[in-house]
Structure 1
Amino acid sequence: MPVAPHPARFPRNPGIPLDLDWVSSVQANTSAVERRAGSLGARRSVKKDYQAAWLLRAITLMDLTTLNGDDTRGKVRRLCAKAKRPLRQDLVEALGVQDLNITTGAVCVYHDMIGTAVEALEGSGIPVAAVSTGFPDALSPFHLRVQEIEESVKAGAAEIDIVISRRHVLSGDWQALYDEMRAYREACGEAHVKAIISTGNLGSLRNVARASHVCMMAGADFIKTSTGKESVNATLPVSLTMVRTTREYEARTGYKIGFKPAGGISKAKDALVYMSLMKEERGNDWLEPDLFRFGASSLLGDIERQLEHFVTGRYSAAFRHGIS
């Protein structure tokens, strides 16, 4: 039985008609964005009990992910077991969080592994997310990309991470991007859709901002930085730019859009910086899994290692915190 996305606290974004005047007016002050992004890690520090609490929250915001050519059903089942019990029991007891039922936000896999993940997560309340639309390059025929979404939803995926066609952004064909994203949104039905902007391929923060706006206008529930396969994935300047587009979109339409940085976030300290960004720019609502996710594979291991240090005062070897 497919698990629904996390219960929404707010109305889902239905999309709006494409507003080309709005899109063409969108700009990005790169030097100001980089200056603001550079200040985040330097000015904000979370220590001791507060750091442990933030790291526990970070676990609940993860899309625990495996997207490799050597994925097997056994590997996915082990990943799902980790998603259900992300911390060793001795750490759970030492931290006093036995009653919180801490799990990851979702498990993200390729289409072929959806059935395995749905079965392994049955009864846990953890949704399965699937990458789709010719991930990671979106170069398969369009009708097959749409069909892939439909098949993944039918197989039990509650969330679909789609990849936009970068060429539409690079050529400024906003109508084509809107129409593509709209078709993906319709194919998802009740499943929530995360639009992967592939920021490392777009050339400028202005393109990132405009693509983000068009995807939200077309009905995206989340906007996501990267596939994790590009040479440059999530960065703070790109993330700040995208987060601010969600703020502007909400101000104009009233709809809250989620944000997912993905690729390259593998250390607990990085997760804390991104959470600080969300809290400062968007507030506490964006520290919940219905509005913020990390696309992560190795991040959980480092968070568990840091929590063990908090409990024992000693750092353990990374191999003691395997993911799958």
Structure 2
Amino acid sequence: MSLKVVDTKAQAVSHKRNPGFPLDLDWVERVRMNRSALERRAATIGTRRTVKKDYQLAWLLKAVSLIDLTTLNSDDTPGRVERLCAKARNPIRADLVEAMGVRHLGITPAAVCVYHNFVATAVRALEGTAIPVAAVSTAFPHGLTPLKIRLAEIEASVEDGAREIDIVIERGMVLNGDWRGLYDQVKAMRAACGEAHIKTILGTGELATLTNVAKASLVCMLAGADFIKTSTGKEKTNATLATSLAMIRMIRWFFEETGIEIGYKPAGGISKAKDALVYLALMKEELGARWLQPHLFRFGASSLLTDIERQIEHGVTGHYAADYRFAMA
């Protein structure tokens, strides 16, 4: 078996980082989202777009390359992080890679995401690879410590080698319509990141309305966010297709107005390969194939890789294996 899979690492991607823009409150106030329309649209994605056999395997390999392989547990240890990094180096069993004829692609996850305390551990464990370390900072998951402490945490993570920073916004600012306060905080966090890319976690399940989600997305993008992200994974409601549509359409509107491409990261609750395929179809339909690259789309996930690997084995051998056959941290 030999799959025709696009080697995204070999593609020359011209991507200009978001420089940030002045806060445009008139634009923010014009934003409106129709929840029922978004939910109707979201309900059709999985029913209208399916891929089978070798095409499905190729899409699953694409999904692997877009995962932020994550461990954010209160009982994390250096050993667990090192095991996760070992999995990131070889995310798919060698025999499956050989059977598909894709070893030359060197497929790895997009990043490894950990708490600040484990950034240095992950950087050492990934030495010699191109896999970046992402740190969740700014008092993850609540984001309610004093700003100077959150900024210091960002700077410490960057100093330890993090190349990406996932920050959390203060949800109360959105609920109170304090767009200037949100803009100023995200702008300060963007500055603290320096060359490290910043992903802003909105905590969408706690923002009450999809219009609030869309407005918060716009304010974060104006403040210089490289990515907008749904959730910490710790909320009762995490990534949904309707929420994703609201955020993706703000990304499209922002691109139409500024020419700047912003990344999107759904996180929390995406644990099945079939769900990943639906999100890939959604991104392709709404933003185009260009957005299906690690610098513009990520999955925030931990268990997703296990199910993808099971589906790949089924595609190669015709048989499903138990989860325990696929090593994770």
- With the shorter chain as reference, the TM-score category is over 0.9
For the residue of structure 1 that corresponds to 2:264, the secondary structure is: strand
Q: Deviations over 1:17-41 (max 9, x none)?
A: 0000000000001111000000001
- 1:98 shift after superposition: 1.2
Asked whether the equivalents of residues 7 and 290 of structure 1 are also in contact (C-alpha less than 8 Å), the reply is no
Runs of 4+ with >2 A deviation:
6-9
- 1:142 shift after superposition: 1.1
Provide the TM-score with structure 2 as the length reference: 0.96
Aligned 1:26-175 pairs, distance under 5 A? 26-175=31-180
> Among residues 218, 222, 241, which one is paired with 2:223 in the alignment?
218
Percent of pairs with identical residues: 65
How many residues are aligned here?
A: 319
Structure 1 regions of 5+ residues with no counterpart? 1-5
Letter in 1 for 2:115: Y
Aligned 1:188-207 pairs, distance under 5 A? 188-207=193-212
Corresponding residue number in structure 2 for 1:254: 259
Q: For 2:260 and 2:199, how far apart are their aligned partners in 1?
A: 15
Q: Deviations over 1:166-202 (max 9, x none)?
A: 0110000100000000000000000000000100000
Provide the TM-score with structure 1 as the length reference: 0.97
1:306 aligns with 2:317: no
- 1:139 shift after superposition: 1.1
Q: Deviations over 1:71-103 (max 9, x none)?
A: 111111110011110011110111111111010
1:318 aligns with 2:323: yes
Structure 2 regions of 5+ residues with no counterpart? 1-10
- 1:163 shift after superposition: 0.1
Letter in 2 for 1:160: I
Q: RMSD of the alignment, in Å?
A: 1.0
Q: For 1:194 and 1:8, how far apart are their aligned partners in 2?
A: 20
Corresponding residue number in structure 1 for 2:29: 24
Letter in 2 for 1:128: V
For the residue of structure 2 that corresponds to 1:102, the secondary structure is: coil
Q: For 2:208 and 2:135, how far apart are their aligned partners in 1?
A: 27
- 1:9 shift after superposition: 2.8
> Among residues 209, 213, 220, which one is paired with 2:214 in the alignment?
209
Corresponding residue number in structure 2 for 1:3: none
Q: Deviations over 1:40-76 (max 9, x none)?
A: 0111111111000000010000000000011111111
Letter in 1 for 2:129: S
For the residue of structure 2 that corresponds to 1:306, the secondary structure is: helix
- 1:322 shift after superposition: 2.5
Asked whether the equivalents of residues 106 and 127 of structure 1 are also in contact (C-alpha less than 8 Å), the reply is yes
1:177 aligns with 2:187: no
Q: Deviations over 1:236-257 (max 9, x none)?
A: 0000110010000000011000
For the residue of structure 1 that corresponds to 2:166, the secondary structure is: strand
Letter in 2 for 1:254: G
Q: For 2:214 and 2:200, how far apart are their aligned partners in 1?
A: 13
Corresponding residue number in structure 2 for 1:279: 284
Letter in 2 for 1:124: T
Asked whether the equivalents of residues 8 and 290 of structure 1 are also in contact (C-alpha less than 8 Å), the reply is no
Change (3 A) 1:127 1:7: farther
Q: For 1:294 and 1:206, how far apart are their aligned partners in 2?
A: 23
Letter in 1 for 2:143: A
Change (3 A) 1:219 1:244: same
For the residue of structure 2 that corresponds to 1:64, the secondary structure is: strand
